[in-house]
A and B are shown apart, each in its own frame.
Chain A
Amino acid sequence: MKMTYREAIRQAMHEALAADPRVFLMGEDVGKYGGTYACSKGFLEEFGPERIRDTPLSELGFVGAGIGAALGGLRPIVEVMTVNFSLLALDQIVNTAAALRHMSGGQFSVPLVLRMATGAGRQLAAQHSHSLENWYAHIPGIRVLAPATIADARGMLGPALADPDPVVIFEHAQLYNLEGELPDDWRCDIATAAVRREGTDVSLITYGGSLPKVLAAAGQLAAEGIAAEVIDLRVLRPLDTETIAASLRKTHKAVVVDEGWRSGSLAAEVMACIVEQCFFDLDAPVARVCSEEVPIPYAKHMEEAALPQVSKIVAAVRQVLGK
């Protein structure tokens, strides 16, 4: 069936709400407004205000309340409008949700699902364009997901809700309008990376909103006779390094593409894993294409220059291949 990424997210939430009375959705404008990205359109009418809760602008409060509700026996899906605003809730996520199980000696798990939009590309400037997935991926105690396909948008929420520990789901804002076929076997795990395109010459490793750019680059490279393998990390914590290593054993070269800023990026972590686990398989230094280290500017040409682009990915591959 053909559908948008947005519709896939919506169906996943709908299924969860219909199947389990403990599941509820809360966040800013999820109800009456229908969701900032229209992912919960119609839910208020169908499930009622008890389970589709509009919250005030109180990110720290309602994310923390989600943690408490999870401890109290519910299965909250908490939507934070965007990762930019999740910074106001970071304390509850890092100091409470992520730490609670360990610091209580294993007595309490927090079965919370936190969804948020992420990423740049819409000329929203410095306060609305962050890609801070790696900040979350740095934190032990949480699982971090980045659905980049229609199937993952549909499939990841179920296992995330079944996870006894906190799961953060990043939905790249540029993906909501992505349209594609929902395969019959959309059910998926939330543990492994996926090979999105097979190839033998170089491994392109990416996640989230960069996947379409990387696939486009791989298409261009194919026309030049370069067979790129594309790996979609899907799960940013814990990383599935085995899938990465298996690819590297085949291609011996890698380019990591990450919309996060270069220094301290998730790309840096992936590169470190490659160096640790695949050093003797490598035929060339590993390269990365990241965002330039600048708060994202408003002007279109400047924003484009700040972000990973197909042309930059293609150029990085050529350089790694010495072409």
Chain B
Amino acid sequence: MTVPYDKTFAQKLLHDMLRIRRMEEKCAELYGAQKIRGFLHLYIGEEACAVGALHALAPGDNIVATYREHGHALVRGVPMDAIMAEMFGKSAGCSRGRGGSMHLFDAATRFYGGNAIVGGGLPLAAGFGLADKLQKRQAVTAVFFGEGAMAEGAFHESMNLAALWQLPVLFCCENNLYAMGTALARSEAQTDLCAKAASYAVPTLKADGMDIVAVHEAMKLAARHVRDGLGPFFLELQTYRFRAHSMFDPELYRDKAEVEEWKTRGPLHTFSARLKAESKLTEEEFLALDARANAEVQASVDFAEAAPWEPVEDLLKDVVTPPSPSIPLPPAGEGSNPPPSPARGRGAGGEGPP
């Protein structure tokens, strides 16, 4: 199939994948240098999922993600500076340094984390859907989770609620075949994830998560369904992580050959090859996109390095909302959501090709 996008949009997709890849490669390096600590779950290999999916959403939509969310945050429009500073633990970070890699949050882009309890984001998504439905907003809540989360009660309870109440929730399962060291077939009696989801009377679709066109087209269709008020939708993106689960992982649970096999389907080189074959990309243009991504990464590292540490005296800040007569309660019906706002900076938004 030819790439059904004009050159500008096609290159934008490629560029966003490059931005994630280069940012995360740098993160791995910075982890070694102990600038980034804690757990660091890389998305390398899975970039087509976040980029293809998020470009099918609108600024007023809600995003709920997991601890493997650097890419989603970046494509949604959270500035790379703020993501990098967060990983450094600086107060200039998108979660003020309190969250780190696993807990990226950003109100301006309606990016609701950064949830590190497996399955923890799913009920939340049903709730966003309920708020949008009751307040008659035509928004989509896209919730990302791994296939491992589908064994948790939270998945089943949330699917049922969303289906029962016909909530505008788009369930995006990133099936990378492993939950830490546990292969799908060793954790699910029914390995057809769409069949599981379909048992809740929810329409489902599988897409090749290594192919950004397949992801984007599937996501557009799913988002249209949800936005049109037809209830929830379940999308399975079949993908693979090239790196360890987190930074430390002896990888005793899978063959090197299997990893290498999947790498041949890597989303970056396959998509750029396709674009080149269709004369939508030259090698010079690729190098220029890559150089831009690398420059953005370097600038974000410089920013994070230079950013100040939060004073220890602020430790107890933001545990609860401070009482303040100057902040009125939100008017009835408005909830506590920020108003839909255009996504910041490069990245998110729009309905695909302009």
Contact = CB atoms under 8 A, between A and B. Distances in A.
Whether chains A and B associate is: yes
Nearest to A44: B252
Interface centre among A88, A293, A306 (most CB of B within 10 A): A88
Nearest to B97: A299
B38 to A, nearest CB: 4
Interface in B281-332: 309-310, 312, 315-316, 319
Interface stretch (A118-126, A145-153, A251-259): A118-126
Given A126-B98, A299-B89, A58 B315 contact: no
A56 B181 contact: no
A57 B151 contact: yes
A59 B312 CA distance: 36
A44 B315 CA distance: 44
Nearest to B119: A57
Contacts of A128: 39, 102, 116
Nearest to B90: A299
Interface residues of B, number: 40
Nearest to A292: B315
B334 interface: no
Contacts of A28: 180, 182
Nearest to B151: A56
A212 B149 CA distance: 36
Given A32-B252, A300-B89, A54 B182 contact: yes
A58 B316 contact: no
B103 interface: yes
Interface in A293-323: 293-295, 297-302, 305-306
B238 to A, nearest CB: 19
B89 A298 contact: yes
Interface string B80-119: 0000000001100001011110110000000000011111
A306 B117 contact: no
A306 B315 CA distance: 7
B252 A33 contact: yes
B226 to A, nearest CB: 26
A237 to B, nearest CB: 26
A298 B38 contact: yes
A124 B316 contact: no
A127 interface: yes
Interface string A64-106: 0000000000000000000011001000000000000000000
A124 B98 contact: no
Contacts of B181: 29, 32-34, 54
Contacts of B152: 57-59, 88
Contacts of B312: 301-302, 305
Contact of B180 (A29, A295, A300): A29
A293 B316 CA distance: 7
Interface in B126-166: 148-149, 151-154
B253 interface: yes
A216 interface: no
A302 B316 contact: no
A84 B67 CA distance: 15
Given A300-B37, A301-B309, A126 B99 contact: yes
A268 interface: no
B179 interface: yes
A60 interface: yes
B182 A33 contact: yes
Contacts of A292: 315-316
Given A33-B252, A299-B310, A54 B89 contact: no
B102 to A, nearest CB: 6
B252 to A, nearest CB: 6
B228 interface: no
Interface in B181-200: 181-182, 186-188
Given A57-B119, A298-B99, A305-B312, A32 B186 contact: yes
Contacts of A294: 315-316, 319
B250 interface: yes
Contacts of B103: 125-127, 298
A300 B89 CA distance: 7
A295 B252 CA distance: 34
B184 to A, nearest CB: 10
Contacts of A302: 89, 97-98, 310, 312, 315
10 contacts: A32-B181, A33-B252, A34-B252, A54-B186, A57-B152, A126-B99, A127-B116, A294-B316, A300-B37, A306-B315
